[in-house]
């Protein structure tokens, strides 16, 4: 709709003489025709892009006889909750889901509190070593987690934190913290410094300025970084797989892999897709709820998981 109006206006200004009504109408319809074509392409792309998610949900609700048919069924005829009941009935799965939540929440909270201070420092102060600090924060984001898995496991072992969720939280700080600092820095930098100055002139202490001015204004940024940090930590697999050995201590990502490759569950796609759905549900929900905030925060920090 807007496209048609826009090009109509463009056509009107572009033509040296005002086009006749007949010509304009023909241009409109050609344009609409073209937009219709692109709409069709968009629908086809959406179907292709969305198909894997559709297939996951579909399989999760299918009966096993419907799953193992030589002719795949593209709709669900006898919806069943068997897959969900199976994995939710598995004590290990519930335990692993809880572990994932605990580790994620702890890593995000610690990163936000500590990262906020760091972000405040680089956004509001000039000090010797500021560039070095920024450089360190940026470079850390580029290090492959896998590369540090060996020394991290040595370090955690030394403090008897290997195979413990506390150890995993510490390891996760390695990627949640730099992202948090860098993104919050952008959000704080966007708050006019005049607001701080006005507050200071009006007799606020530094602490009050922070508490009454910066904190409320940066709240949306805190949500964006928190949600994105949540996504990063929730989806992490490599470190959890390297650092956690006991299956009751593992996270849901590892559960998925073990489920898929265990002989008893081998081809149980219903259960696997139910577990996959349940595992991605918290992330998808948060993502969809806060998507505009996340996009802003993401591009502010220019990082993806």
Q: Binder to another protein among 17, 127, 246, 263 (CB under 8 A)?
A: 127
Residues 104/240, Cβ–Cβ less than 8 Å: no
Q: Does 234 bind another protein (CB under 8 A)?
A: yes
Give the footprint of another protein on residues 141-200 (CB under 8 A).
142-144, 146-152, 154-155, 157, 170-171, 173-174, 177-178, 181, 186-187, 189-190, 192-194, 196
* Region 54-113 residues binding another protein, contact defined as CB under 8 A: 55-56, 59, 67-72, 74, 110
**By CB under 8 A, is residue 114 in contact with another protein?**
yes
Between residues 72 and 79, which has the closer beta carbon with respect to another protein? 72
Instruction: Rule CB under 8 A: say whether 213 interacts with another protein.
Output: no
In angstroms, the CA 88 to CA 84 distance is 6
Q: How far is CA 196 from the centre of its chain?
A: 32
Closest separation in Å from C-beta 89 to another protein: 20
Using the minimum distance from each CB to another protein, give the nearer residue, 185 or 249. 185
**Alpha carbon distances (Å) from 287 to 12, 24, 198, 237:** 42, 44, 37, 19
Tell whether residue 13 is a contact of another protein (CB under 8 A): yes
The smaller minimum CB distance to another protein, of residues 249 and 278, is found at 278
Q: What is the CA radius of gyration of the chain?
A: 26
Segment lying near another protein (by CB under 8 A), choices 19-27, 83-91, 211-219, 291-299:
291-299
Q: Are 256 and 87 in contact (CB under 8 A)?
A: no
* Cα(173)–Cα(301) distance, integer angstroms: 16
CA distances from 218 to 20, 120, 197, 265 (A): 54, 11, 17, 47
The residue within the footprint of another protein, chosen from 117, 160, 198, 245 (CB under 8 A), is 117
Which DSSP category does 211 fall into?
Answer: I
Looking from the CA of 81 toward its CB, the CA atoms found within 13 Å total 4
Does position 33 bind another protein by CB under 8 A?
Answer: no
Report the nearest approach of another protein to the CB of residue 257 (Å): 6
Pick the binder of another protein from 21, 49, 75, 201 (CB under 8 A).
49
- C-alpha separations of 150 from 110, 156, 249 in Å: 23, 10, 19
Interface with another protein, residue 216, by CB under 8 A:
no
Residue closer to another protein, measured from CB, 261 or 264:
261
Structure tokens at 171: 């390891």
């Amino acid at each position: 709709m807007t496209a048609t109006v826009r090009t109509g206006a463009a056509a009107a200004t572009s033509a040296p003489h005002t086009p006749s009504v007949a010509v304009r109408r023909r241009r409109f319809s050609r344009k609409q025709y073209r937009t219709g074509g692109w709409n069709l392409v968009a629908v086809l792309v959406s179907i292709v892009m969305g198909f894997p998610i559709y297939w996951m949900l579909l399989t999760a609700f299918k009966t096993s006889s419907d799953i193992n048919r030589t002719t795949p069924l593209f709709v669900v005829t006898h919806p069943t909750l068997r897959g969900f009941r199976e994995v939710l009935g598995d004590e290990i799965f519930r335990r692993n889901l809880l572990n994932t939540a605990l580790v994620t929440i702890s890593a995000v909270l610690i990163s936000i509190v500590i990262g906020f201070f760091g972000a405040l420092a680089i956004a509001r102060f000039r000090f010797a070593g500021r560039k070095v600090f920024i450089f360190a924060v940026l470079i850390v984001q580029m290090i492959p987690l896998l590369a540090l898995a060996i020394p991290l496991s040595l370090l955690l072992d030394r403090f008897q934190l290997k195979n413990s969720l506390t150890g995993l939280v510490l390891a996760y700080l390695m990627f949640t913290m730099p992202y948090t600092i860098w993104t919050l820095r952008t959000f704080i930098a966007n708050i006019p410094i005049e607001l701080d100055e006005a507050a200071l002139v009006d007799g606020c202490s530094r602490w009050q300025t922070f508490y009454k001015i910066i904190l409320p204004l940066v709240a949306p940024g805190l949500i964006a970084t928190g949600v994105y940090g949540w996504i990063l930590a929730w989806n992490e697999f490599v470190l959890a797989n390297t650092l956690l050995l006991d299956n009751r201590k593992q996270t849901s990502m590892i559960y998925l892999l073990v489920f898929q490759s265990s002989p008893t569950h081998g081809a149980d796609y219903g259960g696997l897709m139910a577990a996959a759905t349940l595992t991605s549900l918290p992330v998808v929900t948060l993502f969809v709820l806060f998507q505009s905030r996340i996009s802003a925060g993401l591009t502010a920090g220019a990082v993806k998981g």
